[in-house]
A and B are shown apart, each in its own frame.
Chain A
């Protein structure tokens, strides 16, 4: 999973922005503070807070060594010999293959293809994990997730077709069919659970951290997004008219991201998130209000 970087007046705000961009709760993210805010004269800000963040990688990684899916054992052995980069990657052959295999819990060695920007004024030591590269490609993850969903639909005795949409590291699986409402559930709760499980079955099991996997069933997310977009724009208009900030109801991180994205281009207002999950909510303020 790639890093995102945000600047804001305070560390908290920068972290909030990053969390909403990543679309995860604070517990599932890891942060690095790149710059503390520097107060200037008269309450002016000389330097803004800069934070970078990414989705915290899953922990149970050593287990992957027991799998025969990919040449992990060989990878670990090669890494111990200090030859990680020289070891030809056996399994991944698709376009997203990076340098060497990725040993877990070993200091990362030189990577020839840094996939995140290295800010010049990094003040904290970069965790070794940031140097990791992924030797699972998006196609593998997508195929695995799609297989999981296909079999899930079959286990429900539903008939449906699935479609995998790949856009770089963004993967979306769409399930088409009639009467799939049971898989969506009240307010999308079942769909969310299905997505969680698909992620565990594909990304986590394959040791992938780069892809973003989304599942949509019966067009639910699309409709939800359209409704949220409309709602957000309407609220933004009210804030603009009244000049009074507006606190929205608590939403999931995915929904908050939709709201932030919908309003990112709207002049005259600003958005931020407040509170802790599951009560975290978006606040829309007039632009000059903070």
Chain B
């Protein structure tokens, strides 16, 4: 499992933000999402600097968004809960966004 997507290289700054600011949160998020979807290789996590918190953007393969979000957003909420807990180890607050 790697913290970075294998393809679709993010820009230098994004990648640095990803590595430096929230390594634990990113590792946890990547692991969880990859464990849930059908197409684990299509999972990409990017860190984007927000105004005062870090935004982790998750991209999943076509058709996998439903499973990641879950019934009534329950899975998405669980992911956010766990990732925010992980982010405290990085000393940052994060948001998690899911995109198709």
Q: Chain B, interface size: which category?
A: 20 to 34
Q: Is the interface of A mostly helix, strand, loop or mixed?
A: helix
Enumerate chain A residues within 8 angstroms of B32, measured Cβ to Cβ.
152, 197, 201
Q: Is the interface of B mostly helix, strand, loop or mixed?
A: helix
Enumerate chain B residues within 8 angstroms of A282, measured Cβ to Cβ.
none
Report the separation of the CA atoms of residues A151 and B1 in the bound assembly, to the nearest whole angstrom.
9
In the complex, per-residue mask of B50-81: 1 if CB is within 8 Å of any chain A CB, else 0: 00000000000001001100111011011101
Out of B30, B38, B70, B81, which one reaches A200, CB within 8 Å?
A: B70
Query: Nearest residue in A to B68 (C-beta to C-beta)?
Result: A200
Nearest chain A CB to B100's CB is how many angstroms away?
15
Stretch at the interface among A47-55, A85-93, A187-195, A220-228: A187-195
Query: Nearest residue in B to A58 (C-beta to C-beta)?
Result: B71
Q: Chain A, interface size: which category?
A: 20 to 34
A66 in the interface (beta carbon within 8 A): yes
B88 in the interface (beta carbon within 8 A): yes
B9 in the interface (beta carbon within 8 A): no
Q: Is B88's CB under 8 angstroms from A152's CB?
A: no
Interface residues of A in 63-93 (CB under 8 A from B): 63, 66-67
Q: B38, B70, B85, B86: which has the most chain A beta carbons within 10 Å? A: B85
Out of B36, B70, B77, B89, which one reaches A156, CB within 8 Å?
A: B89
Nearest chain A CB to B5's CB is how many angstroms away?
16
Out of A63, A67, A182, A204, which one reaches B88, CB within 8 Å?
A: A182
A41 in the interface (beta carbon within 8 A): no
A148 in the interface (beta carbon within 8 A): yes
Enumerate chain B residues within 8 angstroms of A205, measured Cβ to Cβ.
35-36
Q: Is B28's CB under 8 angstroms from A156's CB?
A: yes
A120 in the interface (beta carbon within 8 A): no
Q: Is A189's CB under 8 angstroms from B81's CB?
A: yes
A196 in the interface (beta carbon within 8 A): yes
B14 in the interface (beta carbon within 8 A): no
In the complex, per-residue mask of A150-168: 1 if CB is within 8 Å of any chain B CB, else 0: 0110011100000000000
Q: Is A155's CB under 8 angstroms from B86's CB?
A: yes
Given contacts A67-B38, A155-B24, A157-B24, contact A200 B67 (CB under 8 A): yes
Q: Is A197's CB under 8 angstroms from B79's CB?
A: yes
Report the separation of the CA atoms of residues A60 and B28 in the bound assembly, to the nearest whole angstrom.
24
Report the separation of the CA atoms of residues A194 and B80 in the bound assembly, to the nearest whole angstrom.
11
B27 in the interface (beta carbon within 8 A): yes
Enumerate chain A residues within 8 angstroms of B71, measured Cβ to Cβ.
27-28, 59
Q: Is A197's CB under 8 angstroms from B89's CB?
A: no
Q: Is B78's CB under 8 angstroms from A197's CB?
A: yes
A residues at B contact (CB < 8 Å):
27-28, 59-60, 63, 66-67, 148, 151-152, 155-157, 182-183, 185, 189-190, 192-194, 196-197, 200-201, 204-205
Give 30 A-B contacts (CB < 8 Å), ordered by A residue.
A59-B71, A60-B67, A63-B67, A67-B38, A152-B28, A152-B31, A152-B82, A155-B27, A155-B28, A155-B31, A156-B27, A156-B86, A157-B27, A157-B89, A183-B85, A185-B81, A185-B85, A190-B82, A193-B77, A193-B78, A196-B75, A197-B35, A197-B75, A200-B36, A200-B67, A200-B75, A201-B32, A201-B35, A201-B36, A205-B36
